[in-house]
Amino acid sequence: MKKLFFLIISTLFIVPTIANAHTALTTSNPEDGQVVTEDLTEMVLTFEGQIESLSTMKLLKVGQEVPINVELQEKQMIGTLSTPLDNGSYLIEWSIAGEDGHLITGEIPFTVQMEQEVEQEQTTDTKEPITTEKDDSKAEDQLKSDNTTEQNNTQSSNTIKIIVSVVVVLILGIGIFLLFGRKK
């Protein structure tokens, strides 16, 4: 009976460790939903564990990819731009392979909203900013929708992992109980 008790307790401690071995995003610059008001030429994503060379980062503005140079440094992924970003809504799409080999993806929406010089405002046509604002508004709505969907998928995935872990532990416990219980 002591062996059975020890085996069940050991299984309970091992299963959560296996289920939570994935590397997660700890910090980012810019942050999720941040309004950037200064020149942005570098984006830094920091993760809990070391990331592998298969990891990628894309920067999108209204669905169009903006070219960036991506560099991996142990727990960080750094995206460098040749010129600062223009005003508008952006989305960082990242995908990493953690030490455990699992592929993890995520998105970070943010907005660049820098003050424009007075000269530029006087020379631009008034219809252009309205069109840009409409495009930016549509992009922001799309980003919010995508972000909500991603959060719902993550919550569903975590719930499924917990349920599967509990079922596996119960099946193991019942199987071991039946195996050792029949010997008496």
Q: For the chain, what are the domain ranges? A: 2-181
Q: Which of 94, 115, 92, 106 is nearest to 36 (CA)?
A: 115
| Residue located via tokens 């984006």 | 43
What is the reported pLDDT for 118? Answer: 43
What is the reported pLDDT for 103? Answer: 85
Query: Rounded to an integer, what distance in angstroms lies between the CA atom of residue 122 and that of residue 93?
Result: 36
Q: Which two tokens stand for residue 35?
A: 């309004």
CB 96, CB 28: distance < 8 Å: no
* Stated pTM of the model: 0.55
**CATH classification (class only), 2-181:** mainly beta
Is 83 strand, coil or helix? coil
Q: What is the pLDDT along the chain (184 residues), one digit of tens a residue?
A: 677 677 677 777 666 555 455 678 899 999 999 999 999 999 999 998 888 888 899 999 988 999 999 999 988 999 999 999 999 999 999 999 877 777 889 999 999 998 875 445 455 555 444 444 555 555 555 555 555 554 555 555 567 777 888 888 888 888 787 877 765 5
What is the reported pLDDT for 124? Answer: 52
CB 94, CB 123: distance < 8 Å: no
38: DSSP letter = S
User: What is the dihedral angle through the alpha carbons of 131, 135, 141, 144, rounded to the nearest 10 degrees?
Assistant: -130
What is the reported pLDDT for 184? Answer: 52
